Structures are given as C-alpha cells and as structure tokens.
Amino acid sequence: MIFVTGATSFQDRVQSTLIGGNDLVGKPYLLIELTVKALTAILRRQLETD
C-alpha cells in the first residue's frame, strides 16, 4: 500500500508503516515518482510470492 498524502513528517511516515503501508509519497508529487514506487512495490511483492 502506498499512501499519497500532504502529511509527510517523520511521524507520518512511521505511522503509515505501522498501519501496513509500504511507502509514502508527499503532495505535490511527480507522476514518475509515484509510478516508480508503485512498480517497485509490485516487483517486491512478486519476489516475496515466488
């Protein structure tokens, strides 16, 4: 799960991880940044299930 949010403090990043998030992207964001993070999460998941 990737959170896209305006809340990007250290505490926000820790909290997102504690509730199951894999990453956090702060607003405003570049589409390429979100795309790379999503592809990385997909590849990581595939490696975990293989």
Q: Write out the chain's pLDDT in tens, 50 residues.
A: 999 999 989 999 999 999 999 899 999 999 999 999 999 999 999 999 98
Torsion 27-4-30-44 (CA) sign: positive
* C-alpha–C-alpha distance, residues 9 and 46, integer Å: 29
